[in-house]
Amino acid sequence: MKLKRKKRNVSFKALVFWILFLLFIFSFFWLRPRQWPKEKKLILAYPSQNDLVVAVFDPKNKEITKIIIPGNCEVEVARNLGRWKAKSLWQLGINEKHVGYLMSDTIIKNFKIPVNAWADSSAQSYFEANIFKVLRLTFFPYKTNLSFVDKLNLALFCLQVKEFKRSEYDLKKGLMLAERRLLDGEKGYVLTGEIDSKLLVIVGDEEISQKGIRVIIYDASTKPFLAETVSKVIGVMGGKVFSIVASEQGNLDCLIRGKEKKLARLFADVFSCQVSEKKINENFDLEITLGEDFSRRF
């Protein structure tokens, strides 16, 4: 009798263990915030050999475009870390304990591309029409801020994209970069300040542009031209900044209010901002408040 009771206790504990384990897996993978609304473009930055790649996954047109940023392009690194070549950003992010966020924020800051996700070099497989490589990215770990649901949706999307719908756009061929002698004496590229019209088509949001989203920026930081840089990114996304107002909001990071929560979330994902539920000025569709903490990381 004692042996039977012991077996029952063991089997009961095992059952409880597996139930708790499955609940943990469910909550970890499925209840995590989703990065990618499937009807919108996912813009994913990752390192590739000596260059950086910004991959744009466009579900509306069922297209994938790789934007190539040359590794020997000199950029102003986010978090006030000075000027570095683009190919150094991934390792620099690891060294500074910011992993891919340093890379994505630097790309947003310099190229005005609204990156909303990042990954390590494994993400190159998303561009290859290989079912095994793509599915491997779903079930095997790699460094990224994508959730499991995002990775699963991304894999399913990539497997549906035809070969002729996959293309590359090298920034060296556009107006954004100019060849120069860099600070280290080697030849490379620097930014001209121009934004290619082709790039606007690749990364812009047609719905945001058509709606004529009106934006006001409250600048509570002391960093020169910070709000202007953010407004250019908003412009690339399709929004229109009508006003930049100096503000005293305390030592905050970044806060977004919007008439539509879904719209606010899109911009929040790019700038890593919090979304506020408070009502906004009726004259605008979106309010963005930039604080001193934001200026230190952007």
Q: What is the mean pLDDT of residues 68-75?
A: 98
Q: How far is residue 223's CA from residue 200's CA, in Å, rounded to a whole number?
A: 27
In a domain, 243, yes or no: yes
Please compute, for residue 167, the number of CA atoms within 13 A of its CA located in the half-sphere on the CB side.
11
Q: Which residue type is seen at 39?
A: E
Average pLDDT over residues 8-23: 57
Same domain, 153 and 213: no
Residue 232 is predicted with a pLDDT of 97
Name the average pLDDT for the chain. Answer: 88
Report if residue 37 sits inside a domain: no
- Burial profile 92-125: b = 16 or more Cβ within 10 angstroms, e = fewer: bbeeeebbbbbbbbbbbbbbbbbbbbbbbebbbb
Domain identity same for 56 and 175: yes
Digit-coded pLDDT (tens) for 116-155: 999 999 999 998 878 889 889 988 999 999 998 899 889 9
Same domain, 46 and 102: yes
Co-location of 223 and 174 in the same domain? no
Task: Report residue 156 as tokens.
Answer: 């399913």
**Count of the separate structural domains present in the chain:** 2
Q: Identify the weakest region by mean pLDDT among 12-16, 72-76, 244-248, 268-272.
A: 12-16
In a domain, 21, yes or no: no
pLDDT number for residue 189: 98
pTM: predicted TM-score of the whole model, two decimal places: 0.87
DSSP 8-state code for residue 54: E
- For position 238, what pLDDT does the model report? 95
Residues 226 and 149 in one domain: no
Phi, psi of 167 (to 5 degrees): -140, 170
Of 85-99, 138-152, 173-187, highest mean pLDDT: 85-99
Assess if residue 1 is contained within a domain: no
CATH number of the CATH domain containing 216: 3.30.70
Quick one: 167 and 249 in the same domain? no
- The C-alpha atoms of residue 268 and residue 212 are separated, in whole angstroms, by 18
Q: Look at the block and give the residue holding tokens 């590739």.
A: 48
Look at residue 148 in the predicted model and tell me its pLDDT.
87
Structural domain boundaries enclosing 280: 205-297
Among 116-125, 204-213, 277-286, the least confident range: 277-286
Same domain for 223 and 173, yes or no, is: no
213 and 136, same structural domain?
no
Q: How confident is the model at residue 31 (pLDDT cuts 50, 70, 90)?
A: very low
Question: What is the spatial distance between Cα 181 and Cα 24, in angstroms, rounded to a whole number?
Answer: 54
Which residue type occupies 19? Answer: I
136 contacts 128 by C-beta, under 8 angstroms = no
Per-residue pLDDT, 27: 46
Contact 291, 221 (CB under 8 A): yes
